[in-house]
Chain A
């Protein structure tokens, strides 16, 4: 988004600042050489206050984890983490769920979006609406529907083979039902990321060219289209990973214990460790985002990341 935006001239800057500060923009903007100090002070104050508000909880949490009243500084909250009961299991479960969700959502969305681009433009609104609809349904509402459906299993289907399916998707070790629910939640973000990527590529031309050169369809998709979409695929995967790792509502209400649920469950007995894990999860998210933006996908990441938060907060 930064690429196509012009740098504002000084006059605009002045006027914008004046307007944002709630003052009439006339006086400073009319003079061709406006005085410099006032906006600087204003901008500095805003950034300073914002910086303080956003940094204090991070710093304070860190202090909280390493400073034990009466004992001084200790890093026990971090070092004991690996040995903590349930840490590895819940983390592995979350990572497994994330991998399955990423694979499923990409397998569903990539062919559909490419298909819509090259051959079925009339289906495009249908696909878009289908992918964006989950945004309208808060996770907590979705989970009420899922529990209702899952209850049908024992109530109505206990004599049919479908019942086994209902049991299988609720397996404690790998709850497939969570993968399905997460895929639904992830679809809007996967769709946006992939759609942005496809928009930047002239898909029909690429396909025509490749086909004219005798490439088979699988070759066209795997070796021509997907490499062009690498950035948006990475973006979609990252968003999904962040979504699944942080997801609490659905998992906890369905009674499973992936990472976020585990953090809450230990918070009573081991407050320090739960805060330590929270800080670590922020750092990991930050790191992933940096890696992603280094890969040259900042626009995708920045615009795509924004709406994620509504999923799990």
Chain B
């Protein structure tokens, strides 16, 4: 594979250490590559294969079809995809704005205690997704939740098991995630740039338009995209919280896999999985270059 690995005679290389080391280091990566090929590649291949083929149960023949993908983009499945995208976009936007505000407040206050406390808390809370979060919110703002009863939220038309309720819950881990992502970028805005701009006669607005925002933009957009992807892939929180009352693609896939629908829907689940991978892939394709770009300035 690599040039070093093709060295034919190990012993005759006359002590040039690199040659002797070549084949061994190549071998060291082999287990990892084989493992990902098997345990990740095969399921991935199964998704792609199942999504575009259909098997006749009587004859056992397999034929290529676009039917599953077409079905995954129609009716309730399309609704669930749209619902997921809507929820993810909304919560990513709100979480992004709130995260920037909090990170800004922490970065500008020169209290290191506040700063480290916030960043540690953000690290934990960004991980506080999943089932425990859903239960914490049920205890807080569910039908018999503590806050619901204290503040009579039910009378105000509050419903945790709805699109709005789910958004509020998602913000609980998305906002800290944004704080983690954006704090280094806000830190990285060098005071010198500001001073240089001022010395050249720029107004504050001009500084932001031509220096501040362009430098921050990749981080902001990258953060938004990361939040979107996180919310889009989230399943456990929604599953434990709303069951099926909000149409989300992850819940639809789980339903189809659990056999709660007609037989032959497994392939639609695979097609939905493929849809998700495509959307998530798009998200990462936007995020990774942006992250690299912002890293160039914020080193």
A binds B: yes
Q: Which A residues form the contact surface with B (CB < 8 A)?
A: 1-2, 4-9, 11-13, 15-20, 24-27, 29-30, 39, 42-43, 46-47, 50, 53-54, 56-58, 60-61, 63-65, 67, 107-109, 111-112, 114-116, 118-123, 126-127, 130-149, 180-181, 183-184, 187, 208, 211, 217, 242, 246-249, 252-253, 260, 263-264, 267, 271, 274-275, 277-279, 281-282, 285-286, 289-290, 293, 298, 301-303, 305-313
Indicate if B127 sits at the interface (CB-CB under 8 A): yes
Q: How many A-B residue pairs have CB under 8 A?
A: 368
Contact partner of B136 (CB less than 8 A), chosen from A42, A115, A141, A278, is: A278
Determine the residue in chain A with the shortest Cβ distance to B227: A310
Most chain A CB within a 10 A radius of its CB, from B36, B100, B186: B36
Q: Count residues on chain B whose CB falls below 8 Å from chain A CBs.
A: 122
Indicate if B138 sits at the interface (CB-CB under 8 A): yes
A208 to B32, alpha carbons, bound, how many Å?
A: 25
A298 to B115, alpha carbons, bound, how many Å?
A: 13
Indicate if B133 sits at the interface (CB-CB under 8 A): yes
A20 to B31, alpha carbons, bound, how many Å?
A: 48
In the A-B complex, list the 4 residue pairs whose CB atoms are closest, starting with the nearest: A313-B129, A119-B25, A145-B43, A115-B28
**Contact in complex: A115, B125 (CB < 8 Å):** no
Contact partner of A260 (CB less than 8 A), chosen from B5, B105, B236, is: B236
Indicate if B52 sits at the interface (CB-CB under 8 A): no
**Contact in complex: A1, B132 (CB < 8 Å):** no
**Contact in complex: B187, A1 (CB < 8 Å):** yes
**Contact in complex: A61, B139 (CB < 8 Å):** yes
**Contact in complex: A263, B132 (CB < 8 Å):** yes
Residues of B within 8 A of A17 (CB): 104, 108
Cross-chain pairs A/B with CB under 8 angstroms, 27 sampled: A1-B187, A30-B203, A30-B204, A61-B136, A111-B32, A115-B25, A115-B27, A120-B5, A127-B29, A127-B33, A130-B36, A134-B40, A136-B284, A139-B235, A140-B253, A140-B273, A141-B253, A144-B257, A247-B130, A248-B235, A263-B132, A267-B240, A298-B116, A302-B180, A306-B177, A309-B129, A313-B234
A30 to B101, alpha carbons, bound, how many Å?
A: 22
Indicate if B64 sits at the interface (CB-CB under 8 A): no
User: Given A19-B204, A180-B39, A278-B133, 4 more contacts at CB 8 Å?
Assistant: A9-B194, A108-B31, A144-B47, A307-B226
Contact partner of B257 (CB less than 8 A), chosen from A15, A143, A217, A281, is: A143
**Contact in complex: B123, A289 (CB < 8 Å):** yes
Contact partner of B240 (CB less than 8 A), chosen from A1, A111, A122, A264, is: A264
Indicate if B161 sits at the interface (CB-CB under 8 A): no
Indicate if B93 sits at the interface (CB-CB under 8 A): no
0 or 1 for each of B226-239: is its CB under 8 Å from A? (1 = yes): 10011011111101
A17 to B128, alpha carbons, bound, how many Å?
A: 29
Indicate if B82 sits at the interface (CB-CB under 8 A): no
Determine the residue in chain A with the shortest Cβ distance to B27: A115
A308 to B125, alpha carbons, bound, how many Å?
A: 11
Determine the residue in chain B with the shortest Cβ distance to A263: B131
Determine the residue in chain A with the shortest Cβ distance to B109: A43
**Contact in complex: A293, B120 (CB < 8 Å):** yes
Closest beta carbon of chain A to B71's beta carbon, Å: 15
A112 to B29, alpha carbons, bound, how many Å?
A: 4
Closest beta carbon of chain A to B161's beta carbon, Å: 14
Indicate if B172 sits at the interface (CB-CB under 8 A): yes
